[in-house]
Structure 1
Amino acid sequence: PFKTYRISLGKQPKGPKLMEGDKRTPEGFYWLDWRKTSDRFNLAMHISYPNISDSARSRREGVEPGGMIMIHGTPDSEDYPEQYFHTLDWTDGCIAMRNIDMREVWSLVPDGTMIEIRP
């Protein structure tokens, strides 16, 4: 590894994402395909979920795969300071990082980068 970071996952972190709303983070190979700034999560990079395998599984199961999975920063407010989130799996299926770490990844990793998310 070039560098490692502490991350937070979906509220149900065991097992791959199966369908929309299951609070799981996808597992597999994806692309970081675009990015945006976010009022709520600071910086965010979109993950190309669902991939072909995810879409095929969803069709077989008759469920929606979900989407809008991001690697993003952490909320930071008076009521909920950033350190509140750092040791929890709290997202709806995204990958969250401390804001300082997210700024570093944002500056180092270009759109079009392939990533692997694995347990």
Structure 2
Amino acid sequence: MLMVALIGAVALSGCSSKFKTYNGPEVTHVLVNKGARRMYLLHHNQVLKAYDIDLGFAPEGHKQFQGDGKTPEGRYVIDRRNPNSDFHLSIGLDYPNMRDRAYALAQGKTPGGDIFIHGRPNTKKKGNGPDWTAGCISVKDREIEDIYAMVKNGTPITITP
């Protein structure tokens, strides 16, 4: 059962830089609810932080093919981070998994890839409105700084419709 209340203050420091340090409870899971446009950083079943999110430009349904504009659904793992991203920091998901690849291949297509949680673009062109990404999960720049510090590689992420 997901506890709705946020627990205590989250201890983040290094506010003058985009690279912060975090000295609080371990984030053991990331939960994304696409329908509610919310992402939760969890310590077991307790919410440490919650964020409003933007998704891919065609947000309904599971990502199946490159260019479909959908954000994946299912269970993945945070597997990389990019401090020099085209966006204000980014952390990557291990999409596509074997099931995603097999489905796309059976349809004669490619599943796409490079799905990240990231901030805003580093260019003058900013994402407009809700659901503007190519399939990623976007948050505000100050929020990705917190997420980047709090979420470690290997953390599971579940994305629900």
Structure 2 length-normalised TM: 0.65
Q: Indicate whether 1:48 and 2:90 are aligned.
A: no
Distance 1:26 1:73 in 2: 18
- Displacement of 1:108 in angstroms is 0.7
Partner of 1:5: 51
Percent identical: 39
RMSD of Structure 2 on Structure 1 (CA): 1.8
Partner of 1:99: 141
Partner of 1:36: 82
Q: Pairwise mapping of residues 80-95 of structure 1 onto structure 2 (< 5 A)?
A: 80=126, 85=128, 87-95=129-137
- Displacement of 1:14 in angstroms is 0.7
Q: Indicate whether 1:64 and 2:110 are aligned.
A: yes
Distance 2:125 2:112 in 1: 30
Q: Give the aligned residue type for 2:87.
A: F
| Deviation >3 Å, runs of 4+ | 76-80
SS where residue 42 of structure 1 aligns? coil
Q: Indicate whether 1:108 and 2:150 are aligned.
A: yes
- Displacement of 1:17 in angstroms is 0.5
Partner of 2:30: none
Partner of 1:20: 66
Distance 1:4 1:25 in 2: 19
Q: Specify every segment of 5 or more residues in structure 2 that has no aligned partner in the other structure, as ranges.
A: 1-46
- Displacement of 1:39 in angstroms is 5.1
CA separation of 1:54/1:73 partners in 2, compared to 1, >3 Å: closer, same or farther? Answer: same
SS where residue 5 of structure 1 aligns? strand
SS where residue 58 of structure 2 aligns? coil
Comparing both structures, which one devotes a greater share of its residues to strand?
2
Structure 1 length-normalised TM: 0.87
- Displacement of 1:3 in angstroms is 2.2
- Displacement of 1:78 in angstroms is 6.0
- Displacement of 1:2 in angstroms is 3.0
